[in-house]
Amino acid sequence: MAIIIRCRNCKSRLESDADPCPSCGSADKVFILDYMQAGRYSRRIRAVLPESVNSLAQAQLINDLRVTARTKKRRDLPADAATVDYMFPAYLEWYRDHRAPTSLRDLKLVYNAHITRLLGAEKIMGITTENLDYYQQVRLREKVPRADRNVKPRTVNKELNYFSGFLKWCRRHKKINIAPVYYEKLSAPRPRPEILTIEEVMRIIKAADPFYKAFILCLYALGLRFSEARWLTLRHFDFEAMSVTVTQKGGTEKVLPIDRTVAAAIKALRVKDPDGWIFLNPRSVTSECPKGKPVGDIRRALDRVCAAAKITKPVHPHMFRHSFATHLLAGNVNLRTIQRYLGHAQSATTEIYTHVALDHLREASNHVMGRFNGGRRRHNNAQST
């Protein structure tokens, strides 16, 4: 095995990547991995690395990854002996490259707290419906840490959904012959979203200081999740095109329009660094972390703002996103448009807002018709007298 260095211009073989080509003087080089595909007597491979590889160190790193992957494959346990704990670290590495960091963090928490404890010692090929039924029964009877309540069925469904993804990965990527494992999901109807009226949202925005005014506008006027809003930087905004590029749940990106109110609120914060957090937590700026971190929790600040705005109902950050979607539906905006705006992968997720919007329209209708019917009764009573 060797790494071959050639001049990109005249194809001469070079001894080092430090100096230009002695034949033509060009500094552009091509790096080639030269190795045997599967041992001494196998086919010889000469793989030309892409142009983005411009140093011997980068070529060596790529080759090390190739060798490591080949070595790991050789050292794998037989499929019938591999346990969940043995294979899950490799799944986490794959997950790191293919999923969003927030999803990876949640999966690690679920694995370390519950999956390894309840299913970690099980052989993957021996996983059956009984194992998943056992997981459900144990988790439903456990208490949530620092809370006097049992684990919710929706939480257990999410954890087993993670585990089902792991089994699918073992089947596809590790070629482990796992029979399909079917289990009954727990009954967990999606709670109906709580919303604010447009007037309540306006009162909250007016009562907030510039920092939280901008943050709340991102949650409401853009319909962002809390995690999407907190990681925004100036580089995400294009004030000439009046748009913002948001990295959403799952790691994909979406481009949303912004209006002058949102643009003015962001500019009012006077953030200079294009890569600095717009919603920076000042306490997180240290010598070890000079860039700092974005705000992690605004619930206490939101409680103070709501108290100043005389809002009595409990308000949480995600309520602004619910309210925005419901107000769009009430304004006769197409459901498909709202789905793309919110970044929902499935239309069924967006359809939960149709029931909320219908209830509010019904309340408005009842209010109007109640006055109408009451007025008509009063008119009939006056005629009879």
User: Which are the catalytic amino acids?
Assistant: 225, 249, 318, 321, 344, 353
Burial track 77-87 (b if 16+ CB lie within 10 A, e otherwise): eebeebbbeeb
Report which of 189, 104, 109 is spatially closest to residue 154, judged by C-alpha positions: 189
Residue whose tokens read 């002058």: 260
Helix or strand run (H / E) with residue 7 = strand 2-7
CA distances from 59 to 5, 9, 55 (A): 10, 19, 7
Report which of 253, 202, 178, 219 is spatially closest to residue 321, judged by C-alpha positions: 219
Alpha-carbon distance of 89 to 78, in angstroms, equals 17
Tokens of 115: 């999956």
* Radius of gyration of the CA atoms of the chain, in A: 29
- Backbone phi, psi, residue 301, to 5°: -65, -40
Helix (H, G, I), strand (E, B) or coil at 287: coil
* CB 193 within 8 Å of CB 352: yes
Tokens of 124: 């993957």
Alpha-carbon distance of 100 to 91, in angstroms, equals 14
* CB 79 within 8 Å of CB 175: yes
Sheet holding 253-257, edge to edge: 237-238, 243-247, 253-257
* CB 244 within 8 Å of CB 263: no
Residues 6+ apart with CB under 8 A from 132: 160, 163, 181, 183
Residues 6+ apart with CB under 8 A from 12: 6, 21, 22, 23, 24
